[in-house]
Amino acid sequence: MAEDILSEIKKDYVLSKLRDEERIDGRKFEDFRKLEIKTSIIEKAEGSALVRLGNTQVVVGIKMQIGEPFPDTPEKGLIIVNAELVPLASPTFEPGPPDENSVELARVVDRGIRESEAVDLSKLCIEIGKKVWIIFVDIHALDDDGNLLDASAIASICALLNTKVPASRFGVGEDYELPIMDLPVSVTSLIVGDKFLIDPTRDEMSVGEKTLTITVDKNDNIVAIQKSGGYLLSESLFEEVIDASIRAARKIREEIIKYCSKIC
Amino acid sequence: MFKPEKLIFDGKRIDGRTLDQLRPIKIEVDFLKRADGSCYLEMGKNRVVAAVYGPREAYPRHIQDPTKAVIRYRYNMAPFSVEERKRPGPDRRSVEISKVSKEAFEAVIMKELFPRSVIDIFVEVLQADAGSRTACINAASVALVDAGIPMKGMLTSVAVAKVDGVLVLDPMKEEDNFGEADIPFAFLIRGDRIESIALLQMDGRMTKEEIKEAIKLAKKGAMEIYQMQREAIMKKFLEEGENG
Asked if A89 has any chain B CB less than 8 Å from its own CB, the reply is: no
* B106/A230 Cβ within 8 A: yes
pLDDT score recorded for residue A91: 87
| Structural domain includes residue B78 | yes
Q: How many helices (H) and strands (E) does chain B have?
A: 4, 11
pLDDT tens digit sequence for B176-233? 999 999 999 999 999 999 999 999 999 999 999 999 999 999 999 999 999 999 999 9
Asked if B154 has any chain A CB less than 8 Å from its own CB, the reply is: no
**Ordered DSSP codes for B128-170:** -SS-HHHHHHHHHHHHHHHTT--BSSEEEEEEEEEETTEEEES
Q: In total, how many domains does chain B have?
A: 1
pLDDT at residue B138 tops 90: yes
pLDDT score recorded for residue B192: 94
pLDDT score recorded for residue A261: 64
* A229/B211 Cβ within 8 A: no
Interface test with B, best of A102, A215, A221 (most B CBs within 10 A): A221
CA distances B18 to B8, B24, B26, Å, are 9, 13, 19
pLDDT tens digit sequence for B45-56? 999 999 999 999
- What is the rounded average pLDDT of the residues A108-132? 97
Asked if B98 has any chain A CB less than 8 Å from its own CB, the reply is: yes
B167 vs chain A: nearest CA distance in angstroms? Answer: 15
pLDDT score recorded for residue A1: 46
- How far apart, in whole angstroms, are the C-alpha atoms of residue A117 and residue A226? 18
Closest by CA to A216, choosing from A113, A64, A75, A84, is A113
pLDDT score recorded for residue A162: 93
The interface predicted TM-score (ipTM) is 0.88
Residues of B in contact with A231 (CB under 8 A): 103, 107
pLDDT at residue A137 tops 80: yes
The shortest CB-CB distance from B92 to any of A101, A107, A233 is to A107
Residues 2-61 of B with CB under 8 A from A: none
B110 vs chain A: nearest CA distance in angstroms? Answer: 12
Residues 205-224 of B with CB under 8 A from A: 205-208, 211-212, 215
Domain range summary for chain A, segments of one domain joined by +: 2-259
- How far apart, in whole angstroms, are the C-alpha atoms of residue A178 and residue B238? 64
Between helix A100-115 and helix B92-106 the angle, nearest 10°, is 110
pLDDT score recorded for residue B237: 87
Provide the residue type at A140 as one letter: H
* B203/A227 Cβ within 8 A: no
Number of alpha carbons in the 13 Å side-chain half-sphere of residue B14 = 15
Residues of A in contact with B106 (CB under 8 A): 230
CA distances A197 to A72, A201, A240, Å, are 41, 9, 12
Can you give the residue range of the structural domain that contains B84? 11-242
Between helix B208-242 and helix A235-259 the angle, nearest 10°, is 140
Residues of A in contact with B201 (CB under 8 A): 225-227
* B201/A227 Cβ within 8 A: yes
Q: Kindly state the DSSP code that residue A124 receives in the 8-state scheme.
A: G
**Chain B residue with minimal CA distance to A245?**
B208
- What is the rounded average pLDDT of the residues B62-87? 95
Asked if A104 has any chain B CB less than 8 Å from its own CB, the reply is: yes
CATH number, domain with residue B135: 3.30.230.70
- What is the rounded average pLDDT of the residues B2-19? 90
pLDDT at residue A262 tops 70: no
| Structural domain includes residue B3 | no
The strands making up B25-29's β-sheet, listed across from edge to edge, are: B25-29, B37-43, B46-57, B117-127, B70-77
pLDDT score recorded for residue B88: 92
Backbone φ, ψ for residue B237 (5° rounding)? -70, -30
Average pLDDT over all residues of chain A: 94
Region for residue B170 given its phi and psi (left: phi exceeds 0; alpha: psi -120 to 50; beta: otherwise): left
Number of alpha carbons in the 13 Å side-chain half-sphere of residue A256 = 29
pLDDT tens digit sequence for A34-80? 999 999 999 999 999 999 999 999 999 999 999 999 998 999 999 99
pLDDT tens digit sequence for A154-195? 999 999 999 999 999 999 999 999 999 999 999 999 999 999
pLDDT score recorded for residue B3: 76
User: In a 3-state reduction of DSSP, which class is residue B6?
Assistant: coil
User: In a 3-state reduction of DSSP, which class is residue A112?
Assistant: helix
- How far apart, in whole angstroms, are the C-alpha atoms of residue A49 and residue A33? 18
**Chain A residue with minimal CA distance to B3?**
A72
- Beta carbons of B43 and B25 less than 8 angstroms apart: yes
Which secondary-structure segment (H or E) carries A225?
A: strand A222-228
pLDDT score recorded for residue B244: 57
CA distances A84 to A108, A144, B42, B94, Å, are 14, 12, 37, 18
- Beta carbons of B7 and B13 less than 8 angstroms apart: yes
pLDDT score recorded for residue B215: 98
The shortest CB-CB distance from B188 to any of A116, A221, A232 is to A232
pLDDT tens digit sequence for A83-114? 999 999 998 898 888 899 999 999 999 999 99
Query: A2-259 adopts what CATH topology?
Result: Ribosomal Protein S5; domain 2 (3.30.230)
Residues of A in contact with B203 (CB under 8 A): 111, 114-115, 223-224
Closest by CA to A243, choosing from A209, A196, A192, is A196
- How many other β-carbons are positioned within 10 Å of the β-carbon of residue B154? 22
pLDDT at residue B58 tops 60: yes
| Structural domain includes residue B1 | no
Q: Indicate the pTM of the whole model.
A: 0.92
Backbone φ, ψ for residue A230 (5° rounding)? -85, 85
pLDDT tens digit sequence for A236-254? 999 999 999 999 999 999 9
Average pLDDT over all residues of chain B: 95
pLDDT band at B4 (very low <50, low <70, confident <90, very high): confident
pLDDT score recorded for residue B194: 98
Interface test with B, best of A80, A115, A186, A194 (most B CBs within 10 A): A115
